[in-house]
Amino acid sequence: MKKVILDFRVSPDNMNELVQEAFNVNFFDILVSKKTFNQFNRINRVIKYSTDTQLSTEYHIYENLDELYKRLDGKEPPISKIGYYMELKDKNDLDKALKLLQSDQIELIIISAKDWKVIPFENLIAENVNQNTELIAHVENLEEANLMLKTLEKGVDGILYNPKTIEDLLNLKKLMRSNYNIELKTAKIIEIQPISESERVCIDTTSLLNLGEGMLVGSTAKGFVLIHAEVFESQFVSSRPFRVNAGDVSAYILVPSEKPEEIYRTKYLSELKGGDKVFAIDYKGNARVVSVGRVKIETRPMLRFVLETNIGSKKVHISCISQNAETINFIDPHGKAKPVVNINKGEEYLVHIGPEATHFGTIISEKIIEK
């Protein structure tokens, strides 16, 4: 998940409310000052950052390049992790930032770009592939945060943001959901059953979906199978790179939750309509939020798959019903798609183990039997 550092160097009138809500939505990386240090010092989960190197924080953020290099050249190893904050104004500043990113000498670099924003960050993101230094953008509002997190698709590694209201924090949490990782594991096909006809649901999104990407769909809340998007061309059918042929009308699909403490909730495929939000997930578990453009429900022959996996010593069975056609694919552990019409017992495919119980789509702790 992308890093969010909250700028609490100044204590506003609603500081206590903001801090409490920040913790409620799991934002524990805090930029402090001498004035606000004590408020966070005794909270175990908080990771403190400071531009005052005299403070005992987990990260010391230098603002002067000469002082930074002097510290890095010191004989004793630093007690705190090292970062650098800079305002990017011109090409010379960009070159300095690139040099630091590629040096691997510091843990992170925080950059403020008040004039030119997108182009400098595109250059920095492109040059920071597989580097160990985190690139953090100092943003003024949520629109900037969204832009920085999605620039060149990869986005920056995180943001520094000064929230003004509780709503700012809630909206930021919603924004960060598009960068969540949903845990996937493998499950073995143990049963394949033809179903003569059912109403199946195609989800057409307003986004282009990628190779290795699809949606998690399941007949029960115990587990969900990763169904590949229709990105493939064939001699008989053109690709529909915006579409996932998801399954039958009674199936569950993962959608973003409105509760900050939850990543997702479930909806029936029959409930989806244009304008709704759903998760698109790749074979590594990286999830992003996409919008539904339309939903197509038609009667088609189907296949019911039962899969088995283990959680510790416990065997878990999950099921999924898909249209019996060559254009619907499951995804194997290597990200390779295979048409459901060619799937055999004993083969393994990617699934997500669910919460087992939901009520009107919301995860609950009540014991429910679904089979």
What pLDDT, in 10s, does the model give residues 60-113?
Answer: 999 999 999 888 887 666 788 999 999 998 889 888 888 888 888 899 999 998
| pLDDT at residue number 360 | 42
Residue 161 pairs in a beta bridge with: 6
pTM comes to 0.57
Classify strands 329-331 and 314-323 as parallel, antiparallel or unpaired.
Answer: unpaired
Closest CA to 100 of 65, 57, 67: 65
The least confident of 33-47, 191-205, 254-268, 309-323 is: 254-268
Whether residue 361 has pLDDT greater than 50: no
Please report which confidence band the pLDDT of residue 232 belongs to, taking 50, 70 and 90 as the band edges.
very high
Specify the length of the chain in residues. 371
What pLDDT, in 10s, does the model give residues 159-178?
Answer: 999 999 999 998 888 777 55
Measure the CA–CA gap between 202 and 293, rounded to whole angstroms.
11
Distance (Å) of CA 24 to CA 1, 173, 178, 254, 289: 17, 10, 19, 23, 22
| pLDDT at residue number 6 | 97
Phi, psi of 228 (to 5 degrees): -75, 145
| pLDDT at residue number 149 | 83
Closest CA to 291 of 226, 206, 227, 359: 206
Classify strands 243-248 and 185-205 as parallel, antiparallel or unpaired.
Answer: antiparallel
The string over 42-51, giving b where at least 16 C-beta atoms fall within 10 Å of a residue's C-beta and e elsewhere, is eeeebebbbb
The overall average pLDDT reported for the chain is 89
| pLDDT at residue number 40 | 95
* Residue 181 near residue 285 (C-beta atoms within 8 A): yes
CATH for the 3-179 domain, from 3.40.1360.10, 3.40.50.1100, 3.40.50.300, 3.20.20.390: 3.20.20.390
Residue 224 pairs in a beta bridge with: 352
Name the DSSP letter for residue 249: T
Name the DSSP letter for residue 77: P
Measure the CA–CA gap between 317 and 357, rounded to whole angstroms.
14
Measure the CA–CA gap between 282 and 224, rounded to whole angstroms.
14
The least confident of 158-162, 256-260, 345-349 is: 256-260
What pLDDT, in 10s, does the model give residues 105-132?
Answer: 899 999 998 777 778 888 888 877 557 8
| pLDDT at residue number 26 | 86
User: Where in the sequence of the chain do the CATH 3.20.20.390 domains occur?
Assistant: 3-179
| pLDDT at residue number 15 | 94
Residue 230 pairs in a beta bridge with: 240
Higher pLDDT residue, 147 or 201?
201
